Amino acid sequence: MTEFWLISAPGEKTCQQTWDKMMAATTRTNNLSVNHKFSIPDLKVGTLDVLVGLSDELAKLDSFVESVVKKVAQYMADVLEDSRDKVQENLLANGVDLITYITRFQWDMAKYPIKQSLKNISEIISKQVTQIDNDLKARASAYNNLKGNLQNLERKNAGSLLTRSLADIVKKENFVLDSEYLITLLVVVPKTSYPDWQKTYETLAEMVVPRSSNLLFEDSDSGLFSVTLFRKAIDDFKHKARENKFTVRDFQYNEEEMKADKEEMTRLSTDKKKQFVNLKHLESHFLDSTSCGFLVF
C-alpha cells in the first residue's frame, strides 16, 4: 500500500525555493521519498480567533468525511459481490486512480470559491458530504432489502426437499386437478426407505389409488413421490405416513401463484443487476467525498 504524507515546509522567499530545498533534502542525496506539489490556492484565512474556532469543527468534519468515503467504498464492494477484485478499478476520482488524483490534486474553484471565507467553505463541504451520506444510506437500505428478499426466495428454491419450494420441480401433469373426489399428495421419502414406500403406500389408508405413486425428483438424501387418493382419506394417510417416517408436504398446485413466484425471482434478479449500473453514481460520490476529504485536511 502506498503511503502519502501531506507536509508543510518552512517558507523561503518563494514557493519554488521552498520546493527546491525540500527536494534537495529528501530526494537528491538519499531518496527518502517521491515528492509532488499539492497546490492549495490563497484562501481567506481570517483572524486567529476564526481559525481557532474552526479547528474543532474541521476535526469533526474530517472524521465524518473519512467515514463517508469508507462507506462509499464498502457499498461498492457489496454491490460488486463476487467481482470484488474489481473494486479498486472502480474507485476512481475524476476518471483516474487515487494515486494519480492525489499527486495531481487541483482545487475545484467552481464548487469551493476561494473568495468565500473558510467557515463558508467548510459549511459547503459539510452540506455536500451530508447529502452523499443520506443518499448512500437510502441506496444501501434499498439494496439490502432487495438482496434480502432475493436470498429468501433463493433459499426457498434450495435446501432439503422437506422445506424447499417445489414450484420448479413439479408439473401440471403430475397432479389430478379439479376433481371432486381425488387429490394428489406429495411425499418426501428417505432414500433408504424407498422399498418400504413402494410396499406400503397403497395400504397406508383406504382409498389410495393403486400404482399411482411416481418419483418426481430426488436429492442426495430423499425423493419426492406423488400419490393419488380420495380426499376423505387425507388425514388418515398423513397420520400413517408420519408413523412410517414419510413426510407429506403441504402443497397445492396453483399455476398462477407459481408463475408469480418465478416472476418475482426474475424481477429481483434484474433489479439487483441494475445496481451495477449505479456504479457510475457511486464513483461520483467517491470523487466528491474524496475531494472533500482533501479540502478539509
CATH of the domain at 176: 3.30.70.100
Give me the pLDDT at residue 149, please.
84
Q: Would you say residue 3 has pLDDT above 90?
A: no
Regarding whether 208 and 64 lie in a shared domain, the answer is: no
Least confident range of 36-40, 242-246, 263-267, 284-288? 284-288
Decide if 17 is inside a domain.
yes
Burial of 201 (0-12, 13-18, 19+ CB in 10 A): buried
Look up the CATH number of the domain holding residue 284: 1.20.1460.10
List, for residues 188-197, the tens digit of each pLDDT value. Answer: 999 999 999 9
289's enclosing H/E stretch is helix 279-296
For a pLDDT cut of 90, what percent of the chain falls above it? 27
Regarding whether 21 and 60 lie in a shared domain, the answer is: no
Strand 182-190 relative to strand 214-218: parallel, antiparallel, unpaired?
Answer: unpaired
Measure the CA–CA gap between 287 and 291, rounded to whole angstroms.
Answer: 6
Regarding whether 18 and 56 lie in a shared domain, the answer is: no
Give me the pLDDT at residue 16, please.
87
Q: Write down the mean pLDDT value for the chain.
A: 84
Q: Would you say residue 291 has pLDDT above 90?
A: no
pTM of this prediction exceeds 0.75: no
- Between residues 189 and 288, the one the model is more confident about: 189
Burial of 34 (0-12, 13-18, 19+ CB in 10 A): exposed
Measure the CA–CA gap between 77 and 136, rounded to whole angstroms.
Answer: 13
Regarding whether 64 and 6 lie in a shared domain, the answer is: no
Dihedral sign from CA coordinates of 163, 167, 170, 176: positive
- Between residues 150 and 35, the one the model is more confident about: 35
Decide if 119 is inside a domain.
yes
Give me the pLDDT at residue 136, please.
83
| Ramachandran sector of residue 93 (left: φ over 0; alpha: ψ -120 to 50; beta: rest) | beta
Q: Mean pLDDT over residues 149-176, rounded?
A: 87
Q: Mean pLDDT over residues 230-241, rounded?
A: 96
Give me the pLDDT at residue 188, please.
97
Give me the pLDDT at residue 118, please.
84
List, for residues 57-110, the tens digit of each pLDDT value. Answer: 888 888 888 888 888 888 878 777 766 677 777 777 777 788 888 888 888 888
What is the count of structural domains for the chain?
3
Q: Mean pLDDT over residues 254-265, rounded?
A: 83
User: Is 165:156 a contact under the CB 8 Å cutoff?
Assistant: yes
Measure the CA–CA gap between 252 and 165, rounded to whole angstroms.
Answer: 12
pLDDT band at 297 (very low <50, low <70, confident <90, very high): very low
Give me the pLDDT at residue 12, please.
81
Decide if 148 is inside a domain.
no
Decide if 155 is inside a domain.
no
Give me the pLDDT at residue 222, please.
96
User: Is 150:268 a contact under the CB 8 Å cutoff?
Assistant: yes
Most confident of 88-92, 96-100, 209-213, 253-257: 209-213
| Ramachandran sector of residue 254 (left: φ over 0; alpha: ψ -120 to 50; beta: rest) | beta
C-alpha cell at 18: 521552498
Give me the pLDDT at residue 281, please.
57
Decide if 154 is inside a domain.
no
Alpha-carbon distance values, 90 to 72, 153, 203, 284 (Å): 11, 30, 65, 11
- 3 state SS of 87: helix
List, for residues 23-61, the tens digit of each pLDDT value. Answer: 888 887 778 888 988 888 887 877 777 778 788 888 888
Measure the CA–CA gap between 103 and 38, rounded to whole angstroms.
Answer: 7
> Residue 238 sits in which domain range?
172-252
Alpha-carbon distance values, 166 to 37, 149, 155, 160, 224 (Å): 65, 18, 12, 11, 9
Q: Mean pLDDT over residues 136-158, rounded?
A: 82
| Residues making up the chain, counted from first to last | 297
Measure the CA–CA gap between 57 and 287, rounded to whole angstroms.
Answer: 22
Residue 246 has φ and ψ, to the nearest 5°, of -100, 135
Q: Mean pLDDT over residues 221-238, rounded?
A: 96
Dihedral sign from CA coordinates of 236, 239, 245, 250: positive
Decide if 268 is inside a domain.
no
